[in-house]
Amino acid sequence: MASKRRLKTVVVGIGGMAISDSPDESLVAHSLGSCLGVTFYDPVLKVGGMAHCMLPLSRIDKEKAKAKPGLFVDIGVPKLIEAMLRRGCRKKNLVARVAGAARVMDRANFFRIGERNHAVFRKIMWKNGLFIRAEDIGGDQARTLRLEIETGRVVVQSEGREREL
């Protein structure tokens, strides 16, 4: 069921990360093609976080990685987890959902950026003892991902359709 009241939207752009405990906010990542939109939510504290990662591995550009770690799955996702833990969240409470990793500009699947983003994400989750509650991954369509802070509800929009993760 869609939320009836108007939520303030915090846009998480490419390479961005955001954390909120404000019940009147939602975090949103637009145009997730091969990018990975990652959400973590602690239902006990009602704290949510989102990252919008573009590339799997930071070693390709160490300067960019230092300036904007959220661009890269391998350092952006761990930094988001660490930031959530600093806010008082507990790993055992974190609910993870992820969307993206499509082949929007790589229909021949030559570069496999989306696939590699997802593989690195899964490895990070495993190393941290975290489970993925839900995902909307792959295909060839871009997505928009939204996390409502008050409820922890996560919605994916693609091709004019919306579904809850």
| Residues taking part in catalysis | 35
What is the DSSP annotation of 93-147? Answer: G-EEEEEE---SS-TT-SS-HHHHHHHHHHHHHHHTT--EEEEEE-SS--EEEEE
- Rg of the chain (C-alpha set): 15
Contact 36/102 with Cβ under 8 angstroms? Answer: no
